[in-house]
Amino acid sequence: MNELSIIIPCTSVIDLLPKFINELARYLMENPSDIDVIVVVNPNANNPESVLEYTRERYPWLKLTLLQRTGKKVSFGALVRFGLAHSGSRYTVILSPYGEDDLSIITKMLNTIRQGAQVVQATRYKRSEDSKKIPLRFRVYQRIYRTIIYLLLGFNITDSTYGFKMFDRIFIQTLGLTQNGYSICPEITLKAILAGGKVEYVSSTVNISRFNKDFRLYREGLGYLWLLIRGMFHRLGILWF
């Protein structure tokens, strides 16, 4: 069993994967650990085998698995769940291949989760210099969602919707993940808290990528809201989350 699996869901183009793998491989060489990488691409991705060939040629030491979903185009959460089904690690971290996430904090996240946390969430809103980089509309969305979480569930969570998080794979899979969209991100955090798990937060810078255009609030909003309703019922003892 590896200690950590890095799951990389490619919801959009895969052309950036070689550049991303270069950056990831450089980070892993500087911070060696027992890590494998699982890349999950959509059915419409062209020639994903070239990414595997590229990695094997340049980084033969890198343990990389490339998976491609079949059928119609699937969304972020479905790709994450597919990657989790093929992971055998103790911990898992979700990482975007489009340049939004700060690779340098992976070691800090891993050290934090080793101390007994079930989820380590990268947060963009703990430091003002980080949050200022987020477009205003997303800051407004996050503030509204954070307020509703507090009103319905009583939790003060700085950042639940950011996909960059590390978690205890077995603990989270035991709780059951059901969301296929981006709502899988708060699902992981909220289910961990409601199950008595420990959630820690690590401040993170973030870059807005012009290559990842998959998120749409009108499409994802219902999933986010449904999570809060289910969480409220669970807290009241009416319906198991």
Q: How far apart are CA 37 and CA 179, in angstroms?
A: 22
Q: What does pTM read for this prediction?
A: 0.90
Query: DSSP letters along 26-58, please?
Result: HHHHHS--SEEEEEEE-TT-S-THHHHHHHHHH
Q: How far is CA 214 from the centre of its chain?
A: 14
At 27, which CATH number? Answer: 3.90.550.10
240 is a domain residue: no
Query: What is the mean predicted confidence (pLDDT) over 136-163?
Result: 86
Sign of CA dihedral 103, 104, 107, 112: negative
> What is the predicted pLDDT for the residue at 221?
74
34 is a domain residue: yes
> What is the predicted pLDDT for the residue at 236?
82
241 is a domain residue: no
Q: What is the mean pLDDT of the chain?
A: 88
Number of domains in the chain: 1
Query: For 188-232, what is each residue's pLDDT tens digit?
Result: 999 999 999 999 999 988 776 655 556 666 667 788 888 888 888
User: Looking at the chain, how many residues does it have?
Assistant: 241
159 is a domain residue: yes
Query: DSSP letters along 147-184, please?
Result: HHHHHHH----S-SS-S-EEEEHHHHHHH-----STTH
Query: For 73-113, what is each residue's pLDDT tens digit?
Result: 678 999 999 999 999 999 999 999 988 899 999 999 999 99
Q: Which structural domain, as residue segments, surrounds residue 166?
A: 4-235
> What is the predicted pLDDT for the residue at 207?
75
Query: How many CB atoms sit inside 10 A of residue 214's CB?
Result: 18
> What is the predicted pLDDT for the residue at 70?
80
173 is a domain residue: yes
